[in-house]
């Protein structure tokens, strides 16, 4: 079974996500931005979702994390789900 670990930031709008992505690409700290801006309870851990199996997350999120080559990208997103827009940083992936 494929497993992964990722950090994410969840915001309401694509505009917010793109603004945060620009900050991250300029070297901003993912952990701090997640704590300050994410709507997900994981923000208390800097957006850390821990380890999860394929199929445990909503489909668009799951597809983005488990896509071929996603572990080589420093940042994925914005990815739209029913919860909002996610910026995702894959820490590792197996399977």
pLDDT at site 16: 98
Task: Compute the average pLDDT of residues 10-16.
Answer: 98
Torsion of CA 55, 60, 63, 66, to 10 degrees: -80
* Residue pLDDT, tens place only, 51-61: 999 999 999 99
**Domains in the chain: boundaries:** 3-94
Q: Is the pTM of this model over 0.85?
A: yes
Look up residue 5 and give its DSSP letter.
E
β strands within 26-83, DSSP E: 48-53, 76-81
What would the CATH number be for the domain defined by 3-94? 3.10.50.40
Q: How far apart are CA 88 and CA 8, in angstroms?
A: 4
pLDDT, tens digit, 9 for 90 and up, residues 24-64 = 999 999 999 999 999 999 999 999 999 999 999 999 999 99
Q: How far apart are CA 29 and CA 90, in angstroms?
A: 15
Full DSSP string of 30-45: HHHHHHHH--SGGGGG
């Amino acid at each position: 079974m494929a497993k992964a670990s990722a950090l994410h930031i969840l915001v309401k709008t694509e505009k917010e996500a793109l603004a945060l992505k620009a900050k991250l690409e300029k070297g901003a700290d993912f952990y701090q931005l997640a704590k300050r801006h994410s709507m997900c309870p994981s923000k208390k851990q800097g957006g850390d979702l821990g380890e999860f199996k394929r199929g445990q997350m909503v489909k668009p999120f799951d597809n983005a994390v488990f896509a071929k080559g996603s572990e080589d990208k420093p940042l994925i997103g914005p990815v739209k789900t029913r919860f909002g827009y996610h910026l995702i940083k894959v820490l590792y992936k197996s399977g």
